[in-house]
Amino acid sequence: MGTAPEVTLYEVGPRDGLQNEPDTVATRTKAKLLERLIAAGLTRIELTSFVSPKWIPQLADADDLVRVAPRRAGVSYAALVPNRRGYERFATANLPVLAFVVSVSETHNYKNLNRSVAEHLEAFAPVAERAKADGAVLRMYASTCCGCPYEGRISTAQAMGVVRQLVAMGADEIALADSLGVATPGQIRELVRAAAGEFPIERLGLHLHDTYGRAIANLQVGYEEGIRTFDASLGGLGGCPYAPGASGNVATEDVVDLFEQSGIATGVDLSALVETTGWLEQEVLKRRLPGRVFRALWAKRTQA
């Protein structure tokens, strides 16, 4: 029997990754991707978003995907829910985790949702209350918590204003999201310490993008400060539709490699994950993915 995982990887590729692809991936192919991710040992996966197909056509098959997604003991699926209409779909999907996103940046929230932060939180409050009553776990993202493409650097004090509102709304888990990938290790350390002062550290997560190649350094600082849940996307898939210049999420392979090489168990089979990313790159997306560890390991395999 393998060593019990010491950290949790929250895989966002099927939602946050595929929603940024120019071409829509077939539902049956998404289901196959889920099978592969589960076989590699990933147990927390963000499946899709119950958002209007008008805004994100790549996720128009959310209801169909939920019906065909493989259900396995110990595997927890989440779906993003932006509003009351989305919750009606979520409620029939029999998923355990509801994800919700609000930007710390007012401008980014307007670009993303056409409403202020206060308006967005006020509109979602009754949805959150109903979800809690229905037994759903609330995973809430504080997006752009380190920087915004329109407003520039976001202070820890500004980010904490939103974090406190998410706590008051009943968040079970809060993901501190550097959506633009601009954070520095010092900024992440300050933010994590501030958030951990008002919310249990074991219920905090980090969602990092790798625009400037600092995601792994920022992740390591988060681990040093006590974070044990880290979002990642296979192959470094993703981006942010309303954050010009943002690159993909930190690659799941990079995160697994970092922890395993440091003697920290993840419960994820890196070899199986690399095979899955190679399959996705070559047979499905037909484009090169940016993950550093994946690139290195895949090159060795293809050259052997």
Three-state DSSP string of the chain: CCCCCCCEEEECHHHHHHHHCCCCCCHHHHHHHHHHHHHCCCCEEEEEECCCCCCCHHHCCHHHHHHHCCCCCCCEEEEECCCHHHHHHHHCCCCCEEEEEEECCHHHHHHHHCCCHHHHHHHHHHHHHHHHHCCCEEEEEEECCCEECCCEECCHHHHHHHHHHHHHCCCCEEEEEECCCCCCHHHHHHHHHHHHCCCCHHHEEEEEECCCCCHHHHHHHHHHCCCCEEEEEHHHCCCCCCCCCCCCECEHHHHHHHHHHCCCCCCCCHHHHHHHHHHHHHHHHCCCCCCHHHHHHHHHHHHC
Higher pLDDT, residue 188 or 245: 188
Number of domains the chain contains: 1
Q: pLDDT tens-digit profile of 239-283?
A: 665 555 556 899 999 999 999 999 999 999 999 999 999 999 999
Residue 82 has pLDDT above 90, yes or no: yes
* Rounded mean pLDDT, 28-54: 97
Does 2 reside within a domain? no
Does 143 reside within a domain? yes
**Taken in order 83, 86, 91, 94, is the CA torsion positive or negative?**
negative
Active site residue 240: yes
Residue 240: predicted pLDDT: 62
In whole angstroms, what is the distance from residue 205 CA to residue 141 CA? 9
Does 238 reside within a domain? yes
Does 215 reside within a domain? yes
Residue 3: predicted pLDDT: 84
In whole angstroms, what is the distance from residue 208 CA to residue 158 CA? 18
In whole angstroms, what is the distance from residue 41 CA to residue 141 CA? 24
> Poorest-confidence range of 187-196, 230-239, 263-272?
230-239
The position carrying tokens 């993915």 is 289
Does 252 reside within a domain? yes
Confidence band, pLDDT 50/70/90 cuts, at residue 114: confident
Determine the structural domain holding residue 240 and report its residue range. Answer: 8-303
Does 3 reside within a domain? no
Q: pLDDT tens-digit profile of 137-167?
A: 999 999 999 999 899 999 999 999 999 999 9
The number of beta carbons lying within 10 Å of the beta carbon of residue 23 is 11
CATH number where 21 lies: 3.20.20.70
Does 1 reside within a domain? no
Residue 1 has pLDDT above 50, yes or no: no
Selection from 206-210, 246-250, 298-302 with the highest mean pLDDT: 206-210
Does 282 reside within a domain? yes
Residue 51 has pLDDT above 80, yes or no: yes
> Poorest-confidence range of 10-14, 45-49, 245-249?
245-249
